């Protein structure tokens, strides 16, 4: 199966003097105001580049719908500090992507700014990738039109590029066919405070564990911020949004770190697929329980990162049902009893009463996830055979 994988390259713009910065800001402001004047909106919109027209129109339409739903009577306003530029409007003046020349909507006003970006090599690779139009096999990497964004919270300009890559992902049929020779997979178990991943070798209905690893983080911060939030609500009548935001940023970093670690392991063992459990139908959406909410947020974030990264490397990311992954014995499928004490060590290791199998609960979850995937492939094979006969 052929699909596109995406990566975002974001670079900060630093202007030589504040005059240039103000000039750009003024132009953005002028454009924004022009669109917001309702009488002349269509006229102003027609003067904009086409990609920008549809974007502004979509945004205004969306806003109108929201207002209608809330029964508010006023004109929709475009308030986002974002501009989509043509590639010729944002040119790199040197080969190593250090400086960029911006031409804004008013012609002949070019401003040069320093471009600070961590993923410059990727951008270079994408812009150097050969473009062959009309060719059946498309070029490997493509860059989109850059977006000029002004972030109001930290008062900085950013230039954002989206880079896409055409990859071929193995389908379920191909994985099923590869089962005869055997291949490696990585199964991932995501918890609130850690991430366990294991490499398994699948061969005709049997799985063998090759490697196991874990990525931990501190969950105490969540509890601390929750306490601050409760206090702020009680005393000042508003939530501690700054703390939440910082915490979310940190969580994002941790999620990316975990996903990177898994991808490195997958590359080292030459794995073909990454298996994770699908939680979306396990927890009800309107659940009031805060731990579940945090868990869902973490889980969703990590899964999203993992799927994106796996796609970029050309690996399949397959979800399996989360039912009973950490409560069933991987050897005899009996239900594992809950420990009688409340201590962490008792909860961490589980013991089967029927076959005396003992292991770490996260390791058990990984084994069960890999086994579920194996069974899924075997079921797929059976279905194919039945269809043929």
Instruction: Point out which residues bind Zn ion (CB under 5 A).
Output: 329, 331-332, 334, 352, 354-355, 357
**Least distance CB 373 / Zn ion (angstroms):** 20
C-beta of 312 vs 357, nearer to Zn ion? 357
**Least distance CB 362 / Zn ion (angstroms):** 17
**Least distance CB 329 / Zn ion (angstroms):** 3
Tell me how far apart the alpha carbons of residues 115 and 16 are, in angstroms, rounded to a whole number: 11
**Least distance CB 371 / Zn ion (angstroms):** 13
**Least distance CB 119 / Zn ion (angstroms):** 48
Closest CA to 86 of 146, 30, 126: 146
Closest CA to 202 of 345, 328, 38, 371: 371
**Least distance CB 277 / Zn ion (angstroms):** 20
**Least distance CB 210 / Zn ion (angstroms):** 22
Tell me how far apart the alpha carbons of residues 225 and 239 are, in angstroms, rounded to a whole number: 10
C-beta of 175 vs 329, nearer to Zn ion? 329
In the numeric block, the tokens 């702020």 are attached to: 232
Rg from Cα positions in the chain: 26
In the numeric block, the tokens 């490697």 are attached to: 211
**Chain CA centroid to CA 123, Å:** 19
C-beta of 224 vs 354, nearer to Zn ion? 354
Task: Kindly tell me the burial class for residue 300, based on how many C-beta atoms sit within 10 Å of its own C-beta (0-12, 13-18, 19 or more).
Answer: middle
């Amino acid at each position: 199966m052929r699909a596109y994988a995406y990566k975002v390259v974001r670079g900060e713009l630093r202007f030589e003097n504040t005059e240039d910065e103000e000039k750009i800001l003024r132009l953005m402001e002028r454009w924004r105001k022009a669109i917001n004047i309702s009488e002349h909106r269509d006229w102003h919109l027609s003067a904009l580049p086409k990609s920008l027209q549809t974007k502004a129109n979509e945004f205004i339409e969306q806003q109108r719908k929201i207002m209608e739903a809330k029964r508010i009577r006023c004109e929709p306003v475009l308030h986002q500090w974002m501009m989509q530029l043509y590639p010729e409007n944002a040119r790199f003046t040197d080969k190593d992507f250090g400086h960029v020349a911006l031409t804004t909507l008013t012609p002949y006003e070019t401003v040069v700014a320093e471009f600070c970006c961590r993923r410059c090599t990727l951008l270079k690779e994408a812009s150097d990738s050969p473009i062959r139009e009309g060719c059946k096999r498309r070029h490997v990497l493509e860059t989109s039109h850059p977006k000029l964004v002004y972030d109001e919270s930290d008062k900085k300009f950013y230039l954002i590029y989206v880079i896409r890559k055409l990859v071929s992902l193995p389908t379920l049929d191909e994985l099923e066919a590869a089962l005869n020779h055997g291949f490696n997979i990585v199964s991932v178990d995501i918890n609130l405070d850690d991430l366990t991943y294991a490499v398994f070798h699948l061969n005709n209905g049997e799985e063998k564990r090759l490697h196991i690893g874990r990525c931990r983080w501190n969950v105490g911060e969540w509890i601390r911020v929750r306490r601050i939030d409760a206090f702020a609500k009680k005393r000042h009548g508003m939530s501690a949004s700054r703390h939440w935001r910082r915490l979310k940023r940190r969580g994002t970093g941790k999620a990316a770190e975990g996903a990177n670690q898994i991808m490195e392991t997958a590359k080292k063992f030459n794995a073909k697929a990454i298996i994770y459990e699908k939680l979306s139908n396990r927890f009800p959406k309107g659940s009031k329980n805060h731990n579940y909410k945090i868990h869902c947020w973490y889980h969703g974030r990590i899964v999203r990162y993992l799927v994106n990264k796996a796609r970029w490397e050309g690996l399949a990311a397959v979800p399996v049902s989360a039912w009973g992954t950490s409560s069933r014995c991987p050897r005899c499928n009996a239900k594992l009893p809950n420990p009688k004490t409340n201590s962490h060590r008792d909860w961490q290791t589980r013991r089967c009463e029927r076959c005396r199998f003992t292991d770490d609960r996260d390791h058990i979850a990984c084994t069960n996830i890999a086994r579920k995937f194996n069974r899924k492939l075997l079921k797929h094979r059976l279905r194919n055979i039945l269809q043929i006969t």
